[in-house]
Structure 1
Amino acid sequence: MDDVTNSLPEQMAYWDRGIFRAGLKISHLQLILAIEDHGQISAAAEALNISQPAASRMLGEVEAILRAPLCARVARGVELTQYGRALARRARTIFLELRETAREINELKTGSGGSVSLGSVTGPALNLAVPAVSQVSTAYPGIEINIQIENSNVLVRELLAARHDFVIGRIPDDIDPRQFNLIEIGEENVCLIVREGHPLLDQAVVTFSDLPGYDWVFQPPGTLLRRAVEDSFLSAGTPLPATIINTSSIILTVSIVQHTNAIAPVARDVADLIAGDASRAGAIRVLPTDFNIRIRPYSLITARGRALPPSAKLLYDLILKQSTA
């Protein structure tokens, strides 16, 4: 038993050398991650800008190197086997380390204050991220801050892909929450916006029964805000709107609402910004309703096992402090 135990490091070193000597490449790891993200070899190939035959050939190469099946066919495409999932998990760590290495070297070369990549849903981006970014930029003028505003479905997947240091949002139902650390920091109130002069503004209070006859601008299907609105319709026993325009862009949402009788659900912080007395965003107004649309609280989310670099930790801590002020 002791002989076997003592030989484990040598065995592991042998397999490590064997994998790379056998030809495992960065492009192979990129392919596995693309397959995991897209669930289809054709879509993975398109994402990597290669042909489907080339992707299939690369997949065969990796399976030959590892001597294990990495994908299994399912009704709508392919999914990773337990071996494929293990490889994908390690690949994400490898790419994260490479990204952090490039970041650290660049900061050493330029003497800059570092860089941060943050993703956030719209409401807390306005009331938490913006004030924190202002503080960081003032105190550390050399810092570079990148912010993506999107729905949680997109942001959390970007976090898993190591394209963000942390995000402000919610864990989608179809993603394993054990992959994350999160601190709940606030709630996002939802309201309905329309254009100035909309027929429903003639009413003192708008009820669910008043809504189905109008076009709606929604976030894409499956997003948490979209589902919260749909659940509210169903709970009220009201038919869902017949005409729906799907977009994740708040700018496009506001533009459509400005020029039509469409109704759009948005975070209250967004509505306050575009429908305030000082706003010139096309005279957007908030509908007075007799109901509330509830969406679960948002959190500061980091990937489990992934330490924040100093620049990102600084912004993270300021946002956390801002949320408790």
Structure 2
Amino acid sequence: MRLTTLSDQEVARGAERLIGRGLKLAHLRLIAALDDAGQLTAAGRSLRLTQPAASRLLAEAEAIAGHRLCERQPKGIALTPAGEALARRARRILAEIAEAGREIGDVAEGRLGMVRVGAVTAPAIDLVVPSLQRLQRQHPGLTAQVDVTTSDVLVPDLLRSRHDFVIGRVPVGFDPRPLDIRWLAAERVALLVRANHPLAQRPRVGVADLAPYDWVMQPPGSLLRSTVEEVLLALGAEAPNCRLSTASLIVTLTRLTRSNTIAPVSTQVARLLAGDGGIARAVTPLAIDFSVEVKPFGLIRLRGLKLPRSAGLLYDAIVEAAGS
């Protein structure tokens, strides 16, 4: 299917038409909240609106747009294609306004400001932390919030303006059109165990050697877990026996050090924990005779949205560190 984009003039005319009909920020906030909550009552509650007030606001928005924006479902509501289009644009408008307020406050107080970035584990260790350290030596007033989690959490949070940009992957089934993506690198995987694990001292470990042991892995559907499962099945092994699912590295390490469990992690995490000068020498990577590689991650930002100066500096520093 061929995708077309609107010109600046077409976007401006569309915006003027809706604004001329009375579209307000309150309508945009409600549509974005409906997209998040899937229920009118919950969306209204998040905006501190009563259910009747939220209903009136939705009716106004539909009258202004000239289209139904949502449909009732057995367990809530779902946005129509028109509602989804308005919600997508509403997020960008609200993000721009939020950033404007943030930048104005920073300028007024003479601060460089805060950067909010989300990342999957490997680039958080290898790219975000060292780039941020170098940047803060040059700009002592720069502060940062770094959230490390999976891409299926990061990208939706980016659309909700909880991050300036993220480093990760586009989740399966997610519409990439609102995103600007700069691909960086693939992620190699290590299998971590406790230092005195029965397999720890073997010079080579094959897939058949893994079968007797439990695993601790990221939640079902996560890319790391799916990749490991696919590789093992392709090599003729059974799917890992995972009795504990968690995205928490602390929970993973706790389980590893107290059992013969195996955990897949990025090689960056393995080096940080068990490499020379590692901070948790109670664990070690297995010398596996096969390789596991997760598809590339990238720098992801909202398309057409200019980054605040603080975020732009860190974004450029990460690009330079990645050599891309």
TM-score, normalised to structure 1, is 0.85
SS at match of 2:199: helix
- Identify, as 1 or 2, the structure richer in helix: 1
Question: Residues 249-280 of structure 1, C-alpha deviation per residue, up to 9 Å, x if partnerless?
Answer: 11221111111111110000110011124334
Does residue 19 in structure 1 map to residue 22 in structure 2? yes
Map 1:31-180 to 2 at 5 A.
Answer: 31-38=30-37, 40-41=38-39, 44-45=42-43, 48=46, 54=50, 58-59=54-55, 61-67=57-63, 68-73=67-72, 78-180=77-179
Distance 1:47 1:237, change over 3 A: farther
The amino acid across from 1:108 in the alignment is V
The amino acid across from 2:124 in the alignment is A
SS at match of 2:216: strand
Question: Residues 211-235 of structure 1, C-alpha deviation per residue, up to 9 Å, x if partnerless?
Answer: 2332211112222111111111221
| Unmatched 5+ stretches in structure 2 | 1-11
Distance 1:13 1:282, change over 3 A: closer
Counterpart of 1:4 in structure 2 is none
The amino acid across from 2:164 in the alignment is D
Counterpart of 1:276 in structure 2 is 275
Map 1:175-186 to 2 at 5 A.
Answer: 175-186=174-185
Cα distance in 1 between the residues matched to 2:282 and 2:320: 34
Cα distance in 1 between the residues matched to 2:33 and 2:86: 12
Question: Residues 275-302 of structure 1, C-alpha deviation per residue, up to 9 Å, x if partnerless?
Answer: 1243342510101111111211111111
Counterpart of 1:243 in structure 2 is 242
Counterpart of 2:265 in structure 1 is 266
Identity value in percent: 39
How many pairs were matched up?
A: 310
Distance 1:37 1:227, change over 3 A: farther
Displacement of 1:78 in angstroms is 3.8
Displacement of 1:151 in angstroms is 1.1
Moved over 3 A (4+): 9-15, 28-31, 42-47, 54-57, 73-78
SS at match of 2:295: coil
Distance 1:50 1:111, change over 3 A: closer
Cα distance in 2 between the residues matched to 1:296 and 1:10: 40
SS at match of 2:196: coil
Displacement of 1:237 in angstroms is 2.6
Counterpart of 1:190 in structure 2 is 189
Cα distance in 2 between the residues matched to 1:143 and 1:76: 45
Please tell me whether the aligned partners of residues 215 and 242 of structure 2 are also in contact (alpha carbons under 8 angstroms).
yes
| Unmatched 5+ stretches in structure 1 | 1-8
Cα distance in 1 between the residues matched to 2:172 and 2:278: 36
The amino acid across from 2:22 in the alignment is I
Counterpart of 1:3 in structure 2 is none
Please tell me whether the aligned partners of residues 31 and 48 of structure 1 are also in contact (alpha carbons under 8 angstroms).
no
Distance 1:47 1:169, change over 3 A: farther
* Superposed CA RMSD: 2.7
Question: Residues 113-169 of structure 1, C-alpha deviation per residue, up to 9 Å, x if partnerless?
Answer: 122111111111111111210111011111121111111111111111121111111
Q: Which moved more, 1:237-246 or 1:265-274?
A: 237-246
Distance 1:213 1:49, change over 3 A: farther
